Structure 1
Amino acid sequence: MPNPIIAGLCDFIAASPTPFHATQNLKIMFADAGFDVLNEGDNWDIKPNSAYVVTRNDSSIIAFRTGKDWMQGMQMVGAHTDSPCLRIKPNPDVKTHGYAQLGVEVYGGVLLHPWLDRDLSIAGRVSGTDKHGNVVSKLIDFKRPVAVIPNLAIHLDREANSSRVINPQTHLPLILSQQPEQSFDDLLLAECGESMANVLEYELSCYDTQAPSVVGLNNEFICAARLDNLLSTYIGARALLDSQSDQAALFISNDHEEVGSSSASGAHGPFLKSVLERLTHSAVQLTQLISRSSLLSCDNAHGIHPNYADKHDKNHGPILNAGPVIKINNNQRYATTSVSSAKFQKRCQAAGVPLQKFVVRSDMACGSTIGPITATELGIETLDVGAPQWAMHSIRETAGTKDCEYLYQAACAFIS
């Protein structure tokens, strides 16, 4: 039987096929724990020793605990709600040889081949009008498999295992049914129910219906969709909920990290800064608060793959289940500094949490996170850290079960 963190993570991922669903589920978690739900358009009356939660665009979330005096500094944990996937196009209906298909757009750096031959469903946010003509939005989730992208048989492409290239425009349209007269808008209207009379727009993602599972002879691994970055999102949220301290603390999970974070709800946007501004009364106080605070940017790291060990610097190849990974890049693709790293290492040593370090090979390009973006926007001391994983950006990824527990312990130690 998996420990509560793993069980909770699996349930959270299964219930969160899109950033909208993840944010909704997080909001419920915090509200059920006594966090007061705020609306950005209202006046706020923030009090000491209280807890609050606020969302933006239904896809990004901030929860915070004020402690005795938040002006003495806040310990912040950041993650992101989005994952690479296939998104449904605005006018998606394609009818070919009697099959009803949907055109898709690639969102983020998707590893495309694993999306073929999967039992796919569709979820996200639908906007339209109700029977009174008011604009309304609704989250939907078909939940059951409704689509598939079949591979081409090897008999029709003898070079498939050595040279097949997937064309997103021509090879990825979903196959829904053999009823091409049925429009996708009609399907959405039926899924929305009586709350919507007319569909005007939507933001819908495809996802694999296979549930998360614990794998390995000794239950060493968790295999699931969207581990990047719902693993960090769930653990960061749980750390804020479970840590007992008078220390002011904040959790944020932004949307749109996988496509550059440049949006109203992304890390390049003003969401976090606007919340911090409402906790202070002047530019000077905001600067003072930020200077006394620090951010733990949590996003999964590349664990060394035993079949592709040459893709790592041999001195910086993180092992699954050997502890969270401090991510370092001298070209500022990660925001870790020697000071932020030293402080984190000290906390983890006291908590008995093992740590590893990752530096990308010097002849390879390095990815990035919300860490450098948030550090740039706020000027806050930041550390980039994450659980090591395999198959990042695949439709199904793998991480270590012990690392989930280690990262949770590390986040709790950081917040406290």
Structure 2
Amino acid sequence: MKTENAWKKYADKTEVFAFSEAYKNFISSCKTERECVIEMMQQAEKAGYRNIDEIIEKGEALKAGDKVYANNKGKGLALYLIGEEPLEKGMRILGAHIDSPRLDLKQNPLYEDQELALLDTHYYGGVKKYQWVTIPLALHGVVSKKDGENVTVVIGEDEKDPVLGISDLLIHLSQKQLQKTAAEVVEGEKLDILVGSIPLEGEEEEPVKAQILAILKEKYGIEEEDFLSAEFEVVPAGKARDYGLDRSMIMGYGQDDRVCSYPSFAAIMEQKQVKYTSVCLLVDKEEIGSVGATGMQSKFFENTTAEVMNACGQYSELKLRRALKNSMMLSSDVSAAFDPNFPEVMEKKNSAYLGHGMTFNKYTGARGKSGSNDANAEYLAKLRKVMDEEQIAFQTAELGKVDQGGGGTIAYILANYNMEVIDCGVAVLNMHAPWEITSKVDVYEAYRGYCAFLQNM
């Protein structure tokens, strides 16, 4: 079975390109999970969403049509549009993650070596380490000081800012380096960020490091010990750009998984009234196993749903269990796009192609489907019907050939509640690289598909 190129649907491409511009602006300014949460909360509040904590504190009741959100420690967000049916009949959930592969600063990162100041890093998620050297990098983060003040830091994104980077060995001296495997050619402990070379006048011991500390103190009020309670992420510097002579694609950092989280968020923002409660669940830590308080394996979603049901006057432990079991979910996550440069790792008739619409992955996992959620055929049939009725372009895919590797999403975690779950997102080239590639029409079809799911499932 072959799928049609989705661009053929659009003689007038105005809406596709307009949605892509909004998406590009989002991923250009929101490069960390904290930045995503701040931006989305602001947009949600403008659309009438209220903090569930405020509802609880005031003892207010929720009814059909009400909109609430819950902020999970500044790194995750859950949005609920209350439906006409009781919650125990199930929700329609769009779940995506807002963390992306990157480099994190260690807790004691700053040091000086041979009159150069550097920051020590620890890579986060699955990365090809060699891709992160010799490119312009930016520093995003928050410093939590002992007096309770939080200081936000962004360096390298403004055109007037300096950028940072990681040096690499010159080709003239690389004979031994080039004999190493790709996994070893740049070691994790060599991913240190070069940040300065001017010594502080009058400082004898580590004067270049002292100069960097003086700059941080002057601009941000940060002392060296404040790194102990800071979270700094090193990401590619620069904005998302149109890609291709025809401007049909988007090149940007963090599209895994913001290319799914943004359309999911935009889809719930578009809804005014729904039969079943709509939920957009945006989580952290997917790239490292969905662990911790802000990952999908935490009780945040379950606890928040209990609070929402209580505010609706519908809570009991049994009704909560029914609500979760009776729900349907799209695990909004990316899939690997077929790359003509590397056809040997893909099986063509079961691959996702750029420009062919949103992608359903019935299962993910590795090799023998290890670690996957394998969606029910009946659920996929219902989704096919809705997508066809709404004329949504979609395709199905696997993540490469059976024995090539694989990957996972948050799907299996929600499926543990016995709800219907399937992975559904956008095909990506260069996945997990500093700059990833997507098709504008796929991003738009994903948005339309997510809207159709909330409205019609």
Whether the aligned pair in 1 keeps the contact of 2:52 and 2:308 (CA below 8 Å) is no
C-alpha distance after superposition, 1:5-58 (max 9, x if no partner): 211111111111211111111111101111112339954634111001111110
Matched, 1:174 2:189: no
Q: Which amino acid aligns with 1:105?
A: H
C-alpha distance after superposition, 1:59-85 (max 9, x if no partner): 000011002234233211000010010
Q: TM-score, normalised by structure 1?
A: 0.92
Which of the numbers 264, 274, 277 marks the counterpart of 1:246? 274
> Equivalences for 1:107-186 in 2 at 5 Å?
107-129=124-146, 134-142=147-155, 143=157, 144-158=161-175, 163=180, 165-179=184-198, 180-182=208-210
Whether the aligned pair in 2 keeps the contact of 1:189 and 1:199 (CA below 8 Å) is no
> Equivalences for 1:5-16 in 2 at 5 Å?
5-16=19-30
Extract unaligned runs of 5+ from structure 2. Answer: 1-13, 199-207, 310-314, 364-368
- 1:273 is matched with 302
- 1:339 is matched with 378
Whether the aligned pair in 1 keeps the contact of 2:107 and 2:228 (CA below 8 Å) is no
1:201, distance to aligned residue in structure 2 (A): 1.0
1:326, distance to aligned residue in structure 2 (A): 0.9
- 1:84 is matched with 101
Whether the aligned pair in 2 keeps the contact of 1:327 and 1:334 (CA below 8 Å) is no
Matched, 1:29 2:43: yes
Whether the aligned pair in 2 keeps the contact of 1:19 and 1:59 (CA below 8 Å) is yes
1:271, distance to aligned residue in structure 2 (A): 0.8
Which of the numbers 52, 72, 93 marks the counterpart of 1:56? 72
CA distance in 1, matches of 2:449, 2:259: 14
- 2:287 is matched with 258
CA distance in 2, matches of 1:199, 1:108: 21
- 1:414 is matched with 453
Which deviates the most, 293-302 or 211-220?
211-220
RMSD: 2.3
- 1:45 is matched with 60
Aligned length: 410
Identity %: 22
* Greater gyration radius: 2
Matched, 1:368 2:387: no
1:215, distance to aligned residue in structure 2 (A): 1.2
Q: Which amino acid aligns with 2:118?
A: Q
Which deviates the most, 159-168 or 226-235?
159-168
Q: Which amino acid aligns with 1:141?
A: V
CA distance in 2, matches of 1:342, 1:178: 61
C-alpha distance after superposition, 1:253-289 (max 9, x if no partner): 1000001111111000011101111233212111222
Which deviates the most, 323-332 or 58-67?
323-332
Q: Which amino acid aligns with 2:44?
A: F
Whether the aligned pair in 1 keeps the contact of 2:68 and 2:79 (CA below 8 Å) is yes
CA distance in 1, matches of 2:102, 2:215: 21
Extract unaligned runs of 5+ from structure 1. Answer: none
> Equivalences for 1:386-405 in 2 at 5 Å?
386-405=425-444
Q: Which amino acid aligns with 1:294?
A: M
- 1:213 is matched with 241
Three-state SS of the structure 1 residue aligned to 2:357 is coil
Three-state SS of the structure 2 residue aligned to 1:402 is helix
Which of the numbers 47, 68, 83 marks the counterpart of 1:67? 83
Q: TM-score, normalised by structure 2?
A: 0.84
